[in-house]
A and B are shown apart, each in its own frame.
Chain A
């Protein structure tokens, strides 16, 4: 246990180093030009929370060090694909990439059809008064940072669990090493999540699904805690898909009893006009809550950690480097505390998502009694 925590501390310390090396670039520039201007951490935090077309390590603008990822667009003229590096780290619509006779520009991590000419700020994307981009967008199927995170998770899960599966054969059914660590989790999902909520008679069919969703979320949550800057389960698209999968499995396995409860609830006839719509809405509120819960928990954790680290730079921008140094220990201690809490949350949210999915499936396969 101690070994694990110390490992996480190191991981966390490294993550702070990355954050430090990326954020001061802005604040220093700001403090040189306008000493009084305070450091606004929101763009940095939002940039981290949002998906991106690159895996960014440090540096700003042209000096960024990042791994460019492939951009895949479904455009008016079919599929277009190129590397993000062709934008030359531009994220404000200043740089245009031309493919298949179409021009693309990128702003705030999104790719737009570029205008013919740049505006007064040098941007090829028009904005309304509120700063929203008005240009049309091609459908973006890029291998973004989150997609890379998902692929990494897939590879980790496949490697870990196929080797666990093999180890039973080579060790004669005795769990050793990695298997010894994974088997309690697998048995936990099987017994305390699946069997407990779906029932002895029908749980077996759902165990592989529940195991997959549990470990998928768990590994993605933990990946989000590494300094690589992933925020996959804190992305609404990912939690949407997971919630839809949960809904799909629930409805697919639903029996007559379940539908009976929805369209013919056991209440007095006068209440039925009220109850039936409520029950129908209830089908969708459950996965909706699943989607929001996971997204909000993970995103909130990331925002809190990044905000606490930003305290240092806020102090620096406001009161100079001396203040930044004196604020650092408190910010570090708080961040460490939240970080350890986030490790708990990573497990907890994976557990809750799986538990509730099992509960909903259990309700949909429950026999009349």
Chain B
């Protein structure tokens, strides 16, 4: 069976040729080819990643713009609300104060009026007394001897006539 009997010469040459081929191809063909293919694959995947990143960045940017705008809007609204509240508060306070002041002034005026009235009445009493005495003196000047008794009597009368 020549067909299935390996010949030593061919074994030798095949081994030698394959080993040499393997060494040469590894160095001069497979290494540069695989390196080039790998590099290109890496470049492509990097580029795609970068594009994806950029897309995300854009989305982020848009989102953050939107957020900033919303924030600004909210802040404005808050400020306006605050201002309105402050205004209302000030007005209310002013009103309250004005009212208090007015009441105080009215009270003061009333007190002053009362005092004035009292003093006027006292004054009036004195003058009425003096006048009454004068009148009575003139009326009863001859009829009455003792001046003091009569005076005391008159005062007593005047006290009773206390004007209200």
Chain A residues engaging chain B, CB cutoff 8 angstroms? 46, 49-51, 72, 108-110, 139-144, 146-147, 150-151, 154, 157-158, 161-162, 164-166, 168-169, 173, 183, 186-187, 190, 207-209, 211-213, 216, 235-238, 240-242, 245, 295, 299
B33 CB contact (under 8 Å) in A139, A151, A164, A209? A164
* Alpha-carbon distance between A132 and B23 when the two chains are bound, in angstroms: 41
B160 within 8 A of partner (CB): no
Check A190 against B36 for contact (C-beta < 8 Å): no
Residue from B10, B28, B40 in contact with A162 in the complex, judged by beta carbons closer than 8 Å? B28
The answer to whether A142 touches B21 (Cβ under 8 A) is no
Given A173-B39, A207-B30, A237 contacting B20 (CB threshold 8 A): no
Interface size class of B (residues with CB under 8 A): 20 to 34
Chain B interface residues toward A at CB < 8 A = 2-15, 17-18, 20-22, 24-26, 28-34, 36-37, 39-40, 43
Contact of B25 among A142, A211, A242 (CB under 8 A): A211
Contact (Cβ within 8 A) B25 A241: no
A263 to B114, CA, bound (A): 128
When C-beta atoms are compared, the residue in chain B nearest to A154 turns out to be B21
Contact (A240, B6) CB under 8 Å given A161-B33, A165-B33, A186-B37: yes
A242: shortest Cβ distance to chain B, in Å?
Answer: 7
Q: Which residues of A contact B36 (CB under 8 A)?
A: 165, 168-169, 173
Q: How far is the CB of B19 from chain A (nearest CB, A)?
A: 8
Contact present for B14 and A237 (CB under 8 Å): yes
Are B11 and A162 neighbours in the complex by a CB distance under 8 Å? no
Q: When the two chains form their complex, are residues A139 and B9 in contact, meaning their CB atoms are under 8 A apart?
A: yes
> Which residues of A lie under 8 Å from residue B12 when comparing CB positions?
141
| Contact B28 A237, beta carbon cutoff 8 Å | no
Pairs of residues from A and B, 7 with the lowest C-beta to C-beta distance, nearest first: A161-B29, A237-B6, A168-B36, A237-B10, A165-B32, A208-B30, A241-B14
Minimum distance in angstroms from A349 CB to a CB of chain B: 16
Is B30 in contact with A211, judged by CB distance below 8 angstroms?
yes
Provide the main secondary structure of the chain A interface.
helix
12 contacts between A and B (CB under 8 A): A72-B9, A141-B13, A143-B13, A147-B13, A158-B24, A158-B25, A162-B28, A165-B32, A190-B34, A208-B26, A236-B4, A237-B10
Q: What is the CA–CA distance of A139 and B12 in the complex, to the nearest angstrom?
A: 11
Which B residues are CB-close (under 8 A) to A154?
A: 17, 20-21
In the bound complex, CA of A143 to CA of B13 (Å): 8
With A212-B30, A237-B7 as contacts: A245 and B18 at CB distance below 8 Å: yes
A154 to B12, CA, bound (A): 15
- Chain A proximity of B164: nearest CB distance (Å): 118
Give the residues in chain B near A208, CB-CB below 8 Å: 22, 25-26, 30-31, 34
Taking a contact as CB atoms closer than 8 A, the residue among A108, A151, A207, A236 that contacts B6 in the complex is: A236
With both beta carbons as reference points, the residue of chain A lying nearest to B20 in the complex is identified as A154
Residues of B within 8 Å of A211, CB to CB, are 25, 30
A142 to B32, CA, bound (A): 35
Q: Could you tell me if A216 and B10 are in contact, using CB atoms closer than 8 angstroms?
A: no
What residues of chain A lie closer than 8 Å to B10, measured between beta carbons?
51, 144, 146-147, 235, 237-238
**Partner pick for B30 among A109, A161, A166, A237, CB 8 A cutoff:** A161
| CB-based nearest B residue for A151 | B17
Task: Give chain B nearest CB distance to A4 CB in angstroms.
Answer: 23
User: What residues of A have a CB within 8 angstroms of the CB of B15 in the complex?
Assistant: 241, 245
CB pair B13 A236 closer than 8 Å: no
Nearest-neighbour CB distance to chain B for A18, whole angstroms, equals 22
- Closest CB-CB distance, A367 to chain B, in whole Å? 24
Closest Cβ–Cβ distance, residue B63 to chain A (whole Å) = 37
Asked whether A157 and B33 contact (CB < 8 A) given A150-B14, A208-B26, A241-B15, the answer is: no
A169 to B31, CA, bound (A): 13
Given contacts A212-B26, A299-B3, contact A144 B21 (CB under 8 A): no
How long is the Cα–Cα vector from A208 to B11 in the complex, in angstroms?
A: 22
